[in-house]
Amino acid sequence: MPAEGIGQMAARGMETIVVVTGGDELDVDDLPTLPPSALVVAADSGIDRALGLGLRVDVAVGDFDSVSDGAMRAVVDAGAEVQRHRAAKDATDLELALEAALLRGPGRIVVLGGHGGRLDHLLANMLLLASDELSEVEVVAQMGPARVTVIRAVAQLHGRPGDTVTLLPVHGVASGVSTTSLLYPLADEDLAPGSTRGVSNEMTATPALVSVRAGTLLAVQPGRFGPYPSRT
């Protein structure tokens, strides 16, 4: 690998890479827009999910302890690149899949899956999305009905008036947070990790705009209406 960092490589690219992992079922209607030509990296049982969504798997990553035999044969027969790892390893299959995606220099990564009923996996995956290694890449994830957008500068959140939006600071204070088209606006405010200040806001129009002067936010749209849709 060249001397430049993974983040610098990623910053040069503009293409979208789709990373598919296991977890709760996904409703096709909930999925973000996926470019037809996007490269697909599937992590272990994410191979089954990708095929179920009609996606061609270009790279298969993991220890493959949970993928079905039929799905694994299908992607191998179709010519997918296979990156096999030991079961006893220092990173989750999702992290390995994200590393494989980053090495291809994307500008945007869309993660499908990652919420599978285990709280430890969910927390680890949420923090992983906001890791420094992904700091030069636009990242959005669809975890079951929930949409997660990583915000390091500014992002548009799409949905419907009345949709719940929660803003969670990670890895330190998120400074200078401002919003538009949210029921409870923020104007150049600081959000500290552990605070619930950004929990259970609501969209009043789409798109809503969220910006942060410094730090990182996770914008979580859990896929439900808030208690005040009639006020929008």
- Alpha carbon distances (Å) from 168 to 106, 127, 209: 25, 11, 15
User: Over the stretch 150-184, which tens digit does the pLDDT of each residue have?
Assistant: 999 999 999 999 999 999 999 999 999 999 999 99
In degrees and rounded to multiples of 5, residue 29 shows phi and psi of: -70, -20
- By the 8 A CB rule, do 93 and 43 touch? yes
pLDDT band at 7 (very low <50, low <70, confident <90, very high): very low
For the domain made up of 6-144, the CATH class stated in words is alpha beta
How many Å separate Cα 192 from the centre of its chain? 22
User: Over the stretch 71-119, which tens digit does the pLDDT of each residue have?
Assistant: 999 999 999 999 998 877 788 889 999 999 999 999 999 999 887 778 8
Topology adopted by domain 154-231: Jelly Rolls (2.60.120)
Q: What is the pLDDT of residue 69?
A: 95
- CA–CA distance, 213 with 154 (Å, rounded to integer): 9
- CA–CA distance, 63 with 35 (Å, rounded to integer): 28
Provide CB contacts within 8 A for 118, sequence distance 6+: none
- CA–CA distance, 23 with 166 (Å, rounded to integer): 21
- Break the chain into its structural domains and give their ranges: 6-144, 154-231
Instruction: Quote the pTM value.
Output: 0.87
